[in-house]
């Protein structure tokens, strides 16, 4: 350890965010990095804890504790403190293909499991990771590394989200020839069109894609396999296929008036904004606009928050975010001790911005939509909400929601966004390849494996495990690449 008492000598200090009313004027990332000297002191806070739970990455009571990639966090924190940034970068890249993504959008599972967090503030692991990888790009250390020897094996990766990119990058570095097929007009999948620019600027994705292209990975866009690209043709010309198409089947809301104009899935709303931003800096007006509208968002997760932040930037008249579940406690409950992931209430960037602009938190808990109310020309005019109470079911013992009689309320609403999660992969791609799905509409494999029921076809990411995190998708891509490599070569050194 460079500074064994660092966690006692230095207070946690994070990257400063621009003020909410200032940052909503654009769609840019809004955190200002610390100076090199300040960052070294933050790295010094990584204590010699003996057992680095931060890199554990295990499930505990259905929640992940620690980094799923098993990043060597104490090692590169120590190197960062000692100002050995190049060595820190090497250690970081041993376990993570894309630290520039995870250091922006990961919920920092590592920090939730940090031993410093047991009695104080955890280490700024996520920001330290970002400082290391951005140093690598700025100093020219991140550059194309073209494999010296090619195996002669051809691999098709379907989907260019974090799992597909990780699988492609890993297999290409092994010497296989990899082609990535993406149905959208730009590579990136979830990273490109599912996450707003404020959280992950798209130049960061393009920067990595260009490096992968220079290393030999081929990208084919506007290639919707199962529709305009034949799955059988890909199977015939590939030695292996990896399906990484995500969990993109959105959960709908069944309520009277659902056919009203003005109701959209969150992913379509966010994608339209990002496309317009990239194509014309929002000048083409070719996006689902919240400007001047009363917006109601159904869903209290990260995607719902992204819709809040995007609606505010559009210039909405008001925004309400409905959360079916009760509000989580502000501090850990006794039933949710460290080392488990903390089930506590957090106020994210979009909610901060809405509160600053409109004077109150946009969230309403234990509430759902009971009816969509139409105005003229079938246009959405309002929503009828109802409060919920959770009661224990006598047979299953589960807590189930019950409507509270007389709690209905009418909210003006011209734009409603459904951010209620996803129900698994879209069936047509699985059908095109003939792979089996499980009861949750994910591609079925043996536990801990990635090979499907179809010869030479593998799967990874949300398509395999259901809707999850970018960091888990990267791990899935790396592990699927390892299994595919062993299938192709008879052994693997990945």
Average pLDDT over residues 199-226: 98
Which pLDDT value is given to residue 299? 95
Which pLDDT value is given to residue 363? 98
Number of neighbours of residue 483 by Cβ within 10 angstroms: 20
Which domains are delineated in the chain? 6-138 (1.10.1060.10), 154-248+423-489 (3.50.50.60), 263-418 (3.50.50.60)
Q: Is 423 helix (H, G, I), strand (E, B) or coil?
A: coil
Residues 6+ away with beta carbon under 8 Å from 83: 36, 40
pTM greater than 0.75 (yes/no): yes
* Contact status, residue 82 vs residue 117, Cβ threshold 8 Å: no
State percent of the chain over pLDDT 90. Answer: 93
Which pLDDT value is given to residue 1? 61
Average pLDDT over residues 295-315: 97
Q: Which residue bears the tokens 């520039």?
A: 100
Which pLDDT value is given to residue 4? 84
Ramachandran class of 397: left when φ > 0, alpha when ψ lies in -120 to 50, beta otherwise: left
Average pLDDT over residues 296-321: 97
Which pLDDT value is given to residue 2? 64
At 48, the pLDDT band (50, 70, 90 cuts) reads confident
At 47, the pLDDT band (50, 70, 90 cuts) reads confident
Number of residues that make up the chain: 494
Tokens of 64: 């992940």
Expressed in angstroms, the distance from the first to the final Cα of the chain is: 29
- Angstrom CA distances, 80 to 49, 87, 207, 287, 381, stand at 17, 8, 24, 43, 55
- In whole angstroms, how large is the CA radius of gyration of the chain? 23
What pLDDT digit, counting tens, does each position of 457-492 carry? 999 999 999 999 999 999 999 999 999 999 999 999
Query: Is pLDDT at 403 greater than 90 in this prediction?
Result: yes
Give dist(CA 419, CA 405) in Å, integer. Answer: 25
- DSSP line for 242-265: EE------BPP---BTTTSBTEEE
Looking at 1-15, 168-182, 371-385, 414-428, which range is the least confident one? 1-15
Give dist(CA 56, CA 228) in Å, integer. Answer: 42
* Contact status, residue 246 vs residue 159, Cβ threshold 8 Å: yes
Residues 6+ away with beta carbon under 8 Å from 205: 101, 187, 188, 191, 192
Average pLDDT over residues 77-92: 97
- Tell me 53's DSSP state: G
Average pLDDT over residues 19-31: 98
Query: Is pLDDT at 397 greater than 90 in this prediction?
Result: no
At 314, the pLDDT band (50, 70, 90 cuts) reads very high
């Amino acid at each position: 350890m460079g500074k064994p008492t660092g966690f006692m000598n230095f207070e946690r200090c994070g990257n400063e965010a621009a003020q909410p009313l200032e940052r909503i004027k654009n769609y840019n990332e809004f955190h200002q990095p610390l100076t090199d000297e300040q960052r070294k002191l933050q790295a010094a806070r990584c204590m010699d804890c003996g057992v680095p739970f931060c890199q554990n990455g295990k499930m505990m009571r259905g929640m992940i504790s620690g980094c799923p990639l098993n990043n060597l966090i104490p090692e590169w924190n120590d190197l960062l403190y000692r100002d050995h940034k190049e060595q820190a970068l090497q250690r970081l890249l041993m376990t993570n293909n894309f630290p520039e993504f995870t250091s922006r959008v990961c919920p920092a599972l590592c920090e939730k499991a940090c031993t410093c967090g047991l009695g104080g503030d955890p280490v700024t692991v996520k920001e330290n990771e970002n400082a290391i990888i951005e140093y690598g790009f700025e100093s020219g250390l991140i550059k194309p590394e073209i494999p010296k020897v090619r195996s002669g094996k051809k691999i098709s990766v379907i989907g260019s989200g974090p799992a597909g990119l990780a699988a492609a990058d890993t297999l290409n570095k092994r010497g296989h020839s990899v082609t990535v097929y993406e149905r959208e007009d730009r590579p990136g999948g979830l990273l490109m069109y599912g996450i707003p620019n404020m959280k992950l600027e798209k130049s960061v994705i393009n920067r990595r894609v260009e490096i992968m292209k220079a290393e030999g990975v081929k990208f084919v866009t506007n290639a919707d396999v199962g529709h305009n690209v034949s799955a059988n043709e890909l199977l015939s010309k590939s030695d292996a296929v990896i399906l990484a198409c995500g969990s993109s089947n959105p959960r709908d809301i069944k309520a009277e008036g659902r056919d009203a104009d003005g109701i959209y899935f969150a992913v379509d709303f966010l994608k339209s904004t990002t496309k317009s931003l990239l194509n014309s800096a929002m000048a083409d007006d070719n996006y689902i606009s919240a400007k001047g509208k009363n917006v109601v968002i159904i869903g209290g997760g990260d995607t719902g928050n992204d819709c809040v932040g995007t609606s505010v930037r559009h210039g909405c008249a008001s925004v309400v975010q409905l959360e079916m579940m009760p509000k989580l406690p502000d501090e850990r409950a006794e039933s949710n001790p460290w080392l488990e992931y903390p089930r506590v209430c957090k106020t994210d960037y979009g909610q901060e911005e809405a509160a600053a602009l409109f004077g109150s938190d946009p969230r309403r808990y234990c509430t759902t939509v009971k009816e969509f109310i139409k105005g003229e020309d079938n246009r959405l005019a309002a929503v009828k909400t109802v409060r919920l109470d959770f009661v224990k079911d006598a047979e299953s013992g589960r807590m189930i929601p019950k409507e509270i009689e007389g709690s209905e309320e009418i909210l003006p609403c011209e734009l409603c966004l459904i951010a209620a999660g996803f129900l698994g992969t879209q069936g047509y791609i699985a059908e095109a390849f003939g792979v089996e799905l499980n009861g949750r509409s994910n591609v079925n494999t043996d536990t801990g494996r990635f090979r499907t029921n179809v010869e030479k076809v593998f799967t990874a990411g949300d398509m395999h495990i259901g809707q999850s995190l970018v960091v888990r998708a990267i791990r899935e891509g790396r592990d699927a690449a390892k299994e595919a490599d062993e299938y192709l070569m008879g052994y693997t050194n990945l």
